[in-house]
Amino acid sequence: MKFQLKFGLIISIISLLSFASYSNAETKVVTSIKPLHSLVSYVMDGVGTPDILVDGSSSPHTFQLKPSHATMLQEADIVFWIGEDLESFLETPLESIAKNSRHITLMDSDEIELLKFREKNIFDGHDEHGDEHDEHGDEHADEHGDEHDEHADEHGDEHADEHGDEHDDHHDGHAHGEHDIHFWLDPEIAKTIVKIVTRELSEIDPANASTYKSNSIKAVNEIDQLISDTRSKINSNASYVVFHDAYQYFEKRFGVEVVGALTVNPEVLPGAKQLAEIREVIEHENINCLFSEPQFNPSIADTIAKDTGVKAAVIDPLGAELDPGKDLYFDLIGNIATSFESC
Protein backbone atom coordinates (compact mmCIF):
# COMPACT_ATOMS: atom_id res chain seq x y z
CA MET A 1 0.00 0.00 0.00
CA LYS A 2 2.81 2.36 0.98
CA PHE A 3 4.65 1.42 -2.20
CA GLN A 4 1.57 2.16 -4.29
CA LEU A 5 1.11 5.55 -2.61
CA LYS A 6 4.79 6.44 -3.04
CA PHE A 7 4.77 5.27 -6.67
CA GLY A 8 1.60 7.25 -7.34
CA LEU A 9 3.18 10.35 -5.80
CA ILE A 10 6.29 9.95 -7.95
CA ILE A 11 4.16 9.55 -11.07
CA SER A 12 2.20 12.70 -10.17
CA ILE A 13 5.38 14.72 -9.67
CA ILE A 14 6.85 13.46 -12.95
CA SER A 15 3.59 14.31 -14.71
CA LEU A 16 3.60 17.83 -13.31
CA LEU A 17 7.23 18.37 -14.28
CA SER A 18 6.59 16.93 -17.72
CA PHE A 19 3.59 19.19 -18.16
CA ALA A 20 5.61 22.25 -17.16
CA SER A 21 8.43 21.27 -19.49
CA TYR A 22 5.97 20.54 -22.27
CA SER A 23 4.23 23.87 -21.71
CA ASN A 24 7.49 25.79 -21.94
CA ALA A 25 8.66 23.82 -24.95
CA GLU A 26 5.36 24.41 -26.71
CA THR A 27 5.42 28.19 -26.32
CA LYS A 28 7.86 29.27 -29.01
CA VAL A 29 8.22 33.04 -29.04
CA VAL A 30 10.12 34.99 -31.71
CA THR A 31 10.91 38.70 -31.65
CA SER A 32 12.37 40.91 -34.35
CA ILE A 33 14.66 43.58 -32.84
CA LYS A 34 16.67 43.81 -29.62
CA PRO A 35 14.58 46.45 -27.77
CA LEU A 36 11.41 44.45 -28.38
CA HIS A 37 13.18 41.22 -27.43
CA SER A 38 14.19 42.86 -24.16
CA LEU A 39 10.63 43.81 -23.20
CA VAL A 40 9.30 40.36 -24.14
CA SER A 41 12.17 38.75 -22.17
CA TYR A 42 11.14 40.73 -19.09
CA VAL A 43 7.55 39.50 -19.31
CA MET A 44 8.74 35.90 -19.91
CA ASP A 45 11.32 35.92 -17.11
CA GLY A 46 11.15 32.61 -15.23
CA VAL A 47 9.10 30.96 -17.99
CA GLY A 48 11.32 30.94 -21.06
CA THR A 49 13.49 33.00 -23.38
CA PRO A 50 12.24 34.38 -26.70
CA ASP A 51 14.27 34.05 -29.87
CA ILE A 52 15.58 37.14 -31.65
CA LEU A 53 16.07 37.70 -35.36
CA VAL A 54 18.01 40.98 -35.74
CA ASP A 55 20.88 40.49 -33.32
CA GLY A 56 24.28 42.14 -32.96
CA SER A 57 24.82 45.43 -34.77
CA SER A 58 22.60 44.59 -37.75
CA SER A 59 20.01 47.09 -38.93
CA PRO A 60 16.42 45.91 -39.54
CA HIS A 61 16.37 48.24 -42.57
CA THR A 62 18.93 46.08 -44.41
CA PHE A 63 18.62 42.73 -42.62
CA GLN A 64 18.46 39.42 -44.49
CA LEU A 65 17.12 36.18 -43.03
CA LYS A 66 19.40 33.15 -42.61
CA PRO A 67 18.28 29.49 -42.58
CA SER A 68 18.49 29.49 -38.77
CA HIS A 69 16.01 32.37 -38.67
CA ALA A 70 13.66 30.49 -40.99
CA THR A 71 13.71 27.59 -38.53
CA MET A 72 12.81 29.95 -35.67
CA LEU A 73 9.85 31.28 -37.63
CA GLN A 74 8.71 27.84 -38.71
CA GLU A 75 8.60 26.63 -35.10
CA ALA A 76 7.10 29.83 -33.66
CA ASP A 77 3.76 29.96 -31.91
CA ILE A 78 3.83 33.74 -31.75
CA VAL A 79 5.94 36.43 -33.41
CA PHE A 80 6.26 39.96 -32.05
CA TRP A 81 7.47 42.56 -34.56
CA ILE A 82 7.18 46.29 -35.15
CA GLY A 83 5.78 46.01 -38.69
CA GLU A 84 6.59 46.06 -42.37
CA ASP A 85 7.74 49.69 -42.28
CA LEU A 86 10.75 48.64 -40.21
CA GLU A 87 11.30 44.91 -40.75
CA SER A 88 10.27 44.64 -44.41
CA PHE A 89 12.32 41.43 -44.62
CA LEU A 90 9.64 39.72 -42.49
CA GLU A 91 6.56 40.43 -44.60
CA THR A 92 6.80 37.41 -46.90
CA PRO A 93 8.23 34.90 -44.36
CA LEU A 94 5.41 35.62 -41.91
CA GLU A 95 2.86 34.74 -44.58
CA SER A 96 4.72 31.62 -45.70
CA ILE A 97 7.22 30.13 -43.23
CA ALA A 98 5.38 31.33 -40.11
CA LYS A 99 1.85 31.19 -41.50
CA ASN A 100 0.61 29.01 -38.61
CA SER A 101 1.85 31.31 -35.86
CA ARG A 102 0.18 34.33 -34.30
CA HIS A 103 1.66 37.61 -35.58
CA ILE A 104 1.59 40.65 -33.31
CA THR A 105 2.23 43.71 -35.47
CA LEU A 106 2.74 46.50 -32.98
CA MET A 107 2.55 49.37 -35.47
CA ASP A 108 -1.04 48.29 -36.22
CA SER A 109 -2.10 48.39 -32.58
CA ASP A 110 -4.85 50.88 -31.67
CA GLU A 111 -3.13 51.23 -28.30
CA ILE A 112 -0.03 52.89 -29.78
CA GLU A 113 -0.33 56.41 -31.15
CA LEU A 114 2.03 56.82 -34.10
CA LEU A 115 3.76 60.05 -35.09
CA LYS A 116 4.01 61.04 -38.73
CA PHE A 117 7.39 61.03 -40.45
CA ARG A 118 9.11 64.35 -40.89
CA GLU A 119 9.64 64.38 -44.65
CA LYS A 120 12.48 66.92 -44.69
CA ASN A 121 15.87 66.52 -43.13
CA ILE A 122 15.57 70.00 -41.55
CA PHE A 123 12.66 69.37 -39.23
CA ASP A 124 9.48 71.41 -39.11
CA GLY A 125 8.13 72.36 -35.74
CA HIS A 126 11.30 74.11 -34.65
CA ASP A 127 9.96 77.57 -35.51
CA GLU A 128 12.77 79.50 -33.94
CA HIS A 129 15.20 77.60 -36.14
CA GLY A 130 12.97 77.86 -39.20
CA ASP A 131 12.80 81.66 -39.08
CA GLU A 132 16.48 81.87 -38.35
CA HIS A 133 17.20 79.46 -41.19
CA ASP A 134 15.22 81.60 -43.66
CA GLU A 135 17.08 84.67 -42.48
CA HIS A 136 20.39 82.91 -42.97
CA GLY A 137 19.18 81.63 -46.34
CA ASP A 138 18.85 85.16 -47.73
CA GLU A 139 22.13 86.19 -46.17
CA HIS A 140 23.78 83.05 -47.49
CA ALA A 141 22.39 83.62 -50.97
CA ASP A 142 23.80 87.17 -51.13
CA GLU A 143 27.09 86.23 -49.57
CA HIS A 144 27.73 83.08 -51.53
CA GLY A 145 25.59 83.48 -54.64
CA ASP A 146 28.48 83.55 -57.09
CA GLU A 147 30.07 80.60 -55.38
CA HIS A 148 26.84 78.63 -55.63
CA ASP A 149 26.38 79.55 -59.29
CA GLU A 150 29.88 78.37 -60.02
CA HIS A 151 29.22 75.17 -58.11
CA ALA A 152 25.94 74.65 -59.97
CA ASP A 153 27.61 75.05 -63.38
CA GLU A 154 30.36 72.68 -62.41
CA HIS A 155 28.26 70.02 -60.76
CA GLY A 156 24.68 70.59 -61.86
CA ASP A 157 24.44 67.88 -64.49
CA GLU A 158 26.54 65.51 -62.43
CA HIS A 159 24.32 66.06 -59.40
CA ALA A 160 21.15 65.52 -61.39
CA ASP A 161 22.41 62.24 -62.80
CA GLU A 162 23.93 61.05 -59.56
CA HIS A 163 21.06 61.91 -57.22
CA GLY A 164 17.99 61.79 -59.45
CA ASP A 165 17.44 58.10 -58.90
CA GLU A 166 18.41 58.53 -55.28
CA HIS A 167 15.67 61.13 -54.82
CA ASP A 168 13.12 58.74 -56.28
CA ASP A 169 14.40 56.02 -53.97
CA HIS A 170 13.98 58.38 -51.05
CA HIS A 171 10.29 58.76 -51.77
CA ASP A 172 9.94 55.03 -52.37
CA GLY A 173 11.52 54.49 -48.95
CA HIS A 174 8.45 56.00 -47.34
CA ALA A 175 5.93 54.80 -49.96
CA HIS A 176 4.15 52.58 -47.43
CA GLY A 177 5.16 54.54 -44.35
CA GLU A 178 3.48 57.76 -43.34
CA HIS A 179 4.37 57.06 -39.74
CA ASP A 180 7.58 56.87 -37.76
CA ILE A 181 7.82 53.39 -36.28
CA HIS A 182 10.68 53.94 -33.79
CA PHE A 183 8.07 54.19 -31.04
CA TRP A 184 9.92 51.91 -28.60
CA LEU A 185 12.13 54.93 -27.83
CA ASP A 186 9.28 56.41 -25.79
CA PRO A 187 9.27 54.48 -22.49
CA GLU A 188 5.57 55.29 -22.00
CA ILE A 189 4.89 53.35 -25.20
CA ALA A 190 7.21 50.62 -23.92
CA LYS A 191 4.77 50.21 -21.02
CA THR A 192 1.99 49.72 -23.57
CA ILE A 193 4.10 47.13 -25.39
CA VAL A 194 4.58 45.26 -22.10
CA LYS A 195 0.79 45.28 -21.63
CA ILE A 196 0.20 43.91 -25.15
CA VAL A 197 2.88 41.23 -24.77
CA THR A 198 1.46 40.14 -21.41
CA ARG A 199 -2.05 39.83 -22.82
CA GLU A 200 -0.97 37.89 -25.91
CA LEU A 201 1.31 35.48 -24.03
CA SER A 202 -1.36 34.84 -21.41
CA GLU A 203 -3.83 33.88 -24.14
CA ILE A 204 -1.57 31.31 -25.79
CA ASP A 205 0.02 30.12 -22.52
CA PRO A 206 -2.61 30.47 -19.76
CA ALA A 207 -0.67 28.15 -17.45
CA ASN A 208 1.92 30.90 -16.98
CA ALA A 209 -0.43 33.89 -17.08
CA SER A 210 0.13 34.77 -13.42
CA THR A 211 3.91 34.92 -13.96
CA TYR A 212 3.51 37.10 -17.05
CA LYS A 213 1.23 39.45 -15.09
CA SER A 214 3.62 39.66 -12.14
CA ASN A 215 6.57 40.34 -14.42
CA SER A 216 4.64 43.03 -16.31
CA ILE A 217 3.93 44.91 -13.08
CA LYS A 218 7.64 44.86 -12.21
CA ALA A 219 8.54 45.99 -15.74
CA VAL A 220 6.14 48.95 -15.65
CA ASN A 221 7.45 50.05 -12.26
CA GLU A 222 11.03 49.87 -13.51
CA ILE A 223 10.12 51.80 -16.67
CA ASP A 224 8.55 54.53 -14.52
CA GLN A 225 11.85 54.86 -12.68
CA LEU A 226 13.67 54.90 -16.01
CA ILE A 227 11.53 57.83 -17.17
CA SER A 228 12.33 59.75 -14.00
CA ASP A 229 16.07 59.04 -14.29
CA THR A 230 16.11 60.02 -17.96
CA ARG A 231 14.37 63.35 -17.36
CA SER A 232 17.09 64.30 -14.90
CA LYS A 233 19.79 63.87 -17.57
CA ILE A 234 18.27 65.92 -20.38
CA ASN A 235 19.57 69.40 -21.21
CA SER A 236 16.55 71.22 -22.63
CA ASN A 237 18.73 74.09 -23.88
CA ALA A 238 20.86 71.96 -26.21
CA SER A 239 20.28 71.26 -29.93
CA TYR A 240 21.38 68.27 -31.97
CA VAL A 241 21.60 66.81 -35.48
CA VAL A 242 21.20 63.03 -35.86
CA PHE A 243 22.07 60.55 -38.58
CA HIS A 244 18.48 59.64 -39.45
CA ASP A 245 15.03 60.58 -38.27
CA ALA A 246 14.53 57.95 -35.58
CA TYR A 247 14.25 59.84 -32.31
CA GLN A 248 11.11 61.97 -32.31
CA TYR A 249 9.33 59.75 -29.78
CA PHE A 250 12.25 60.22 -27.40
CA GLU A 251 12.40 63.93 -28.26
CA LYS A 252 8.74 64.54 -27.48
CA ARG A 253 8.75 62.51 -24.28
CA PHE A 254 11.82 64.21 -22.80
CA GLY A 255 11.92 67.63 -24.45
CA VAL A 256 15.04 67.02 -26.55
CA GLU A 257 15.56 69.39 -29.48
CA VAL A 258 16.78 67.66 -32.62
CA VAL A 259 16.75 70.18 -35.48
CA GLY A 260 17.59 67.88 -38.36
CA ALA A 261 19.01 64.63 -39.71
CA LEU A 262 21.56 63.78 -42.36
CA THR A 263 18.93 61.60 -44.00
CA VAL A 264 15.25 60.82 -43.47
CA ASN A 265 15.64 57.31 -44.86
CA PRO A 266 18.76 55.44 -43.66
CA GLU A 267 18.68 53.18 -46.71
CA VAL A 268 19.43 56.17 -48.96
CA LEU A 269 22.56 58.29 -48.62
CA PRO A 270 21.90 62.02 -48.30
CA GLY A 271 22.27 64.09 -51.48
CA ALA A 272 24.32 67.23 -51.91
CA LYS A 273 21.36 69.52 -51.17
CA GLN A 274 20.58 67.75 -47.89
CA LEU A 275 24.20 67.91 -46.79
CA ALA A 276 24.41 71.61 -47.67
CA GLU A 277 21.33 72.32 -45.59
CA ILE A 278 22.74 70.43 -42.63
CA ARG A 279 26.07 72.26 -42.90
CA GLU A 280 24.23 75.59 -42.94
CA VAL A 281 22.21 74.71 -39.85
CA ILE A 282 25.33 73.59 -37.99
CA GLU A 283 27.25 76.71 -38.98
CA HIS A 284 24.53 79.22 -38.09
CA GLU A 285 22.83 77.65 -35.10
CA ASN A 286 24.07 76.49 -31.73
CA ILE A 287 24.29 72.76 -32.46
CA ASN A 288 25.84 70.83 -29.59
CA CYS A 289 26.44 67.54 -31.33
CA LEU A 290 26.21 65.62 -34.62
CA PHE A 291 25.36 61.97 -34.04
CA SER A 292 26.17 58.94 -36.17
CA GLU A 293 24.82 55.41 -35.54
CA PRO A 294 26.73 52.12 -35.17
CA GLN A 295 24.50 50.38 -37.74
CA PHE A 296 25.69 52.70 -40.54
CA ASN A 297 28.93 54.04 -41.97
CA PRO A 298 29.91 57.16 -39.95
CA SER A 299 32.12 58.69 -42.67
CA ILE A 300 29.63 61.38 -43.79
CA ALA A 301 28.89 62.49 -40.24
CA ASP A 302 32.60 62.49 -39.37
CA THR A 303 33.45 64.59 -42.43
CA ILE A 304 30.78 67.19 -41.67
CA ALA A 305 31.83 67.32 -38.03
CA LYS A 306 35.45 67.87 -39.02
CA ASP A 307 34.56 70.58 -41.58
CA THR A 308 32.19 72.49 -39.28
CA GLY A 309 33.93 71.93 -35.96
CA VAL A 310 30.80 70.52 -34.30
CA LYS A 311 31.28 67.74 -31.76
CA ALA A 312 30.74 64.23 -33.18
CA ALA A 313 29.30 61.38 -31.12
CA VAL A 314 27.45 58.08 -31.51
CA ILE A 315 23.84 57.37 -30.59
CA ASP A 316 22.19 53.98 -30.93
CA PRO A 317 18.42 53.37 -31.21
CA LEU A 318 18.76 49.56 -31.23
CA GLY A 319 21.42 48.57 -28.70
CA ALA A 320 24.03 47.26 -31.13
CA GLU A 321 26.71 46.76 -28.48
CA LEU A 322 24.37 45.62 -25.71
CA ASP A 323 23.80 41.99 -24.75
CA PRO A 324 20.25 40.78 -25.44
CA GLY A 325 18.05 40.25 -22.41
CA LYS A 326 15.52 41.87 -20.13
CA ASP A 327 17.95 44.61 -19.02
CA LEU A 328 18.81 45.77 -22.54
CA TYR A 329 15.87 48.16 -22.92
CA PHE A 330 16.78 50.04 -19.76
CA ASP A 331 20.45 50.27 -20.76
CA LEU A 332 19.42 51.41 -24.24
CA ILE A 333 17.31 54.35 -23.05
CA GLY A 334 19.90 55.21 -20.41
CA ASN A 335 22.67 55.23 -23.02
CA ILE A 336 20.67 57.49 -25.35
CA ALA A 337 20.06 59.93 -22.51
CA THR A 338 23.77 59.85 -21.64
CA SER A 339 24.70 60.49 -25.28
CA PHE A 340 22.58 63.64 -25.33
CA GLU A 341 23.78 64.66 -21.88
CA SER A 342 27.50 64.27 -22.65
CA CYS A 343 27.20 66.67 -25.60
Position 325 pLDDT exceeds 80: yes
Distance CA 161, CA 280 (A): 24
Can you give the pLDDT at residue 341?
92
pLDDT band at 219 (very low <50, low <70, confident <90, very high): very high
**Stretch among 114-118, 167-171, 336-340 having the lowest mean pLDDT:** 167-171
Distance CA 291, CA 288 (A): 10
Work out the percent of the chain whose per-residue pLDDT is above 90.
66
Distance CA 294, CA 84 (A): 22
Question: What global pTM score does this model have?
Answer: 0.79
* Strands (E) located in the chain: 29-33, 51-54, 78-81, 102-105, 115-116, 179-180, 239-244, 257-263, 289-292, 312-314
pLDDT band at 147 (very low <50, low <70, confident <90, very high): very low
The answer to whether the beta carbons of residues 316 and 296 sit under 8 Å apart is no
240 DSSP β-pair partners = 258, 289
Distance CA 329, CA 324 (A): 9
Q: Domains of the chain by range and CATH?
A: 2-114+182-228 (3.40.50.1980), 127-179+235-342 (3.40.50.1980)
pLDDT tens digits for range 92-143: 999 999 999 999 999 999 999 999 988 788 987 443 444 444 444 444 444 4
The answer to whether the beta carbons of residues 281 and 310 sit under 8 Å apart is no
What phi, psi does 236 have (nearest 5°)? -75, -10
pLDDT tens digits for range 235-267: 888 999 999 999 999 999 999 999 999 988 887
Position 290 pLDDT exceeds 80: yes
pLDDT band at 149 (very low <50, low <70, confident <90, very high): very low
